[in-house]
Structures are given as C-alpha cells and as structure tokens.
Amino acid sequence: MSTQAVEIPPGAPLTVLSEEEQMFQQSVRDFAIEKIRPLVHQMDHDAAMSKELIHSFFELGIMGIEVPDRWGGAGSTFFNAVLVVEELSHVDASCGVLVDVQNTLVNNAILRWGNDDQKSKYLPLLAKDTVGAYALSEAGSGSDAFALATRAEEKGDHWVLNGRKLWITNAAEAAIFIVFSNANPDAGYKGITAFIIERDFPGFGVGKKEDKTGIRASSTCELIFEDCRIPRENVLGEVGKGYKIAIETLNEGRIGIGAQMIGIARGALEYAIAYSKERRQFGKPISEFQGIQFQIAQAATQLEAARLMVYNAARLKDAGKPFLREAAMAKLFSSEVCERVTSTAVEIFGGNGYTKEYPVEKFWRDSKIGKIYEGTSNMQLATIAKTILTDRL
C-alpha cells in the first residue's frame, strides 16, 4: 500500500481552540498516527482490539478524561473528550468508540448519578486500567429504548436480574457494566433502574460476539443475566429513575458519536487527497482535474460544517447550557456527512478504493454505524422536530 495520508490541518475550528487544547489535540493525533495506524489493518481483519493498545489508552490518560484527579482521572473537560474521539477515529473508528463509550457514557453516568461510595470504588478503576460498557439495548428494545424485557427483582440485601442485552459495545473487554433493567414493569418506563454490574457477579455472562461490517475491532456482544445477583448498593441513582439516566447520558453520548463521524470522514479525505496527487491519468495527476477538485472541495466544506456543529454542542455541554437539539443535529449531520465523504473517497480511489489493499474502504464501512447507534437518524430528526415545535429557534 503506497498511499500515505496527508494530514489536513484543521481550518476554522483552530480559531476556537485554546493553545492548551491545540497542544492536547496534537498529542493525541501524534499518538494515533504512531501507535494505532500500524495496527489498524490487522485489528480489522481479526475483529479484535489490541490489548496492548488498550493499555496504552490508560497510560495516555484518555480513559478517564472528565474523572477528577482525586479518583485518578485527568480532571479535564467534555470538549477534550470529544477531541480525543475525533483524533482516534481519524485513524481507527474502533479505537474512537471504545474510548468514547468509556468517557461519555460509563464514566459520565457514574460521575453524574453515582453516590460517593460508588465514585470512590469504580472511577479509580475506570481511569486506571478497567474498561467499561453501557448496556441498554435489547432484541425488542432499540429505538424504543424503554421497552425493556430484562427484569430486576429485589430480594433482601440484593437484586436479581434476568434477561439479555444485545449490541453492547466494549462488552468483550469490559469488567464494569452500566445495565438498565425494569424493576417494576407495571410502572412502565418509570420502573427502569440502572445498576453497576461487575463482570464476575454470579449469574452474569458475556455471550455471542457480533461479526460486523464496520468498526470490527470494537467488540459488540450479547450480555446474559440468569439470576444475576447484584448488591443493593450497586443501584445507580434511584430505583425507577433509570430512564432519566439513560436519556440524559445518551444525549451527551451523541456528541461523542458526532466526533467519531468527523474523525472517520477526515481520515478518508486525507487519504483521498494524497491519492489524487499520486494517481495520474491523461498525463497528469487527477488532482488537477476540476471534477476531482470540486469533489474534494465539497467534502472538505461539509466536513468543516459538521465539525463546527459537534464542537458547538460540546462547548454548550461544558458551559452548562441546553444542548439537546444541538447534540441531535450534530449527530444527524455528521453521520450523513461521514457517509458521503467516505463514499467520495472510495470513488476518488476508483477500483483501488473497493479493495482492502487500500484504506478508504474501511472508512466507508465504518461510517455506516453513525446513522444507527446511540439513536438512529430518524430518532434524531424526531428530537429536533419536537424541540423546534415546542420552542423557538
């Protein structure tokens, strides 16, 4: 594979990044290029994440970005977590989503709703060496997130869970799981309760690993609960308040997925630009043909717009301002842009783009998940429409 990506210096967003943020962004970018890129092809082929690479994520301090330093984390911002996901994803989307789930879903849920004992017990582990997973989806509960069949029953000093979860990211590597179950089905969604479950709890097991089209190195597995015993103190938040935890955590997680999408798109576009300068037709590089130039210009413009939407949503979250609509818009638009840009990159490569010898087909495969997980595009449209119709722009 002769083509080497040409790094695209970020445009306008540099003007909204502080000097410290720019340095942090560059350090993660350098790490991704030097440490992750050599492993990408093999991890995709094997559908497995390098254990050494996961260890390096902890060493770099990017698995506990918002976790306060008293619990071993970086004590940084949500915006920096978004920068990390973007930079990792521009090399490998599987690495991006592993770190994204850890920070924007698992750590965030415990930080916001955990009590002092739970924070003191679990956050140091998640920041130091333990991968986490977030388990909401089930076979009959996808977009209808609250149609949960998993049941929780209180028995003395513990709870008992029975049921199954599907499509759980990080499940193969995780040792700590945020799991949603209905403790009072008669109450509907108001019976949903969140639990912190450890991998070695009796009655808990990780089942089938999915063989996916894209983000193949990211594990996606079934979780099985057969009379799984959970200590009473492992209820996260309040009994019956799990729906609130799920909704609000996913609202933030969607910004992280937006960051993953702009990272994927940027990675594909970088390779396409480099290839357009190498590939010659009719006696000159194809980059000199206006048709190719216009394709690149359109892709770069769309990518810049998506990046600014993601950055804006992250800034609003850090500022403590409403961001629901902006998060939904950022995920919706960035996933659409990602699919278009990666497809354009494949076309610029021509026949080579459709082979695994060159990198852009993987970016294309990785892009599709953006319209599906953490809220489909239709769910984002429903959220956007609802906020517009019940409020003013």
Question: How far is it, in rounded angstroms, from Cα 39 to Cα 50?
Answer: 8
Residues in the chain: 393
Which run of H or of E encompasses 255?
helix 242-278
- Tell me the C-alpha distance between 348 and 344, whole Å: 6
Q: How many CB atoms lie within 10 A of CB 209?
A: 14
Is residue 374 among the annotated active site residues? yes
CA 84 and chain centroid, separation: 11
Cβ count near 78 (within 10 Å): 23
Q: Please report which helix (H) or strand (E) contains residue 42, including its range.
A: helix 40-46
The amino acid at 126:
L
What is the C-alpha separation between 264 and 299, in angstroms, rounded?
Answer: 12
| DSSP, res 210 | P
Hey, which residues are catalytic here? 374
